[in-house]
Amino acid sequence: MTAHVFSSTPSDLFSPVQLGALVLKNRIVMSPLTRSRAGSLGVPGQLNADYYAQRASAGLIITEATNISAQARGYAYTPGIYNEAQVAGWRQVTDAVHAQGGLIVCQLWHVGRISHPSLQPGGELPVAPSAIQPKAQAFTENGLQPIPTPHALSIDEIKSVLADYHHATQSARAAGFDGVEIHAANGYLIEQFLKDKTNQRTDMYGGSIENRCRFLLEVVDTVIRAWDAAHVGVRLSPLSTFNDISDSNSQALFCYAVEQLNRFELAYLEVVEGETGGARQLENGFDLQMLRRLFKGMYIANNGYDQRMAVEALQHHRADLVSFGRPFIANPDLVKRFQIDAPLQSLDPSTLYGGDGRGYTDYPAIR
């Protein structure tokens, strides 16, 4: 057990909130958490349904990152949302969450270059905006393997990926989700287009900030045409270097991106504040709250929050909701623990990725 978390009288953290088309019972969001328990075919099952249902007291659950196509896959045993078996598997999950009074959205994912031929259809190279090899390894069914230099997408291939986003969104609707989140963070495909370390194209998708944002905005457009903006959110990580990525002018890039996202009237924007899964320190001169001020919709703050920080963020209007990741792994009843000032359980890092119910569905709730 860890030390007690901050105790407060019922605050905005526990109050209902309108998020696009959804009415949430509280402002505590379960952030996406890759757990690699969907088998080699990426089909969720009863184990996954049990896991998410246990955490349905969150105002909103954002699923683990979910592959929009076979090409989008970059980690072994991660789920997909592009074929009938996967849709049926996810329907088990959404039904279980709804039966517990919860809401759940599907995070749409394309890893881009962060993959390996053994994870790709026909053993092909991973794809990316530019043929730049990352300093990273891929988690395959045969363990960690070096990532090769990716194949740079052609214009026609980009159109095909956009079609995959459209299809995956339709599949998420068919699976009973309450919405989707576009994963544009953490060094994966959309962010590879955004940041200039990974995008060295000279066509309409490269060079200027406007061109590098084009793919993100086209993804958003195709997703909302498959559903509607009130059921769609976007996740960004402006300062993260995760998966060997960076930009020479992050402030200008992300201010422009957020201003352009406003025209869609999205349900929300979720922002990873600082280094993904790491330090919250901001790069010199970066004004994170400028993104909060620029975005005209609901803002979900993420990364390293505890209850005290979350309450303060809401009280000072730095966020409308807060998403919690690792605390939800070992504390399926995190909302209740916050409400009654109960100690938080510590997670077992050896069971984070892959395996069975151990370290997944066996963390006890308070009785």
For the purposes of burial, counting CB atoms within 10 Å of the CB of 86, is it exposed (0-12), middle (13-18) or buried (19 or more)?
Answer: buried
**Nearest to residue 177, comparing CAs of 79, 265, 307, 270?**
79
The C-alpha atoms of residue 116 and residue 31 are separated, in whole angstroms, by 26
CA neighbor of 127 nearest in space, from 138, 137, 112, 110: 112
* Buried b / exposed e along 134-165 (16+ C-beta atoms within 10 A): bebebbbeeeeeebbebebbeeeebeebbebb
* 311 close to 342: Cβ distance less than 8 angstroms: no
Tell me the CA end-to-end span of the chain in Å, nearest whole number: 16
SS3 for 191?
A: helix
Q: How far apart are CA 100 and CA 221, in angstroms?
A: 32
Q: Which of the residues 51, 52, 165, 188 is marked catalytic?
A: 188
Residue (of 42, 112, 45, 114) closest to 82 by Cα position? 42
DSSP structure class, residue 80: B
For residue 217, CA distances in Å to 80, 146, 260, 263, 341 come to 23, 31, 8, 10, 42
Query: Is residue 35 exposed (0-12), middle (13-18) or buried (19+ Cβ within 10 Å)?
Result: buried
**β-sheet bridge partners, residue 222:** none
Whether 305 is a known active-site residue: answer: no
Q: Based on the number of CB atoms within 10 Å of its own CB, is 303 exposed (0-12), middle (13-18) or buried (19 or more)?
A: buried
- Dihedral angle over CA of 88, 89, 95, 97, nearest 10: -150
- Among candidates 53, 49, 91, 83, which has minimal Cα distance to 67? 83
Q: Which residues belong to the active site?
A: 188
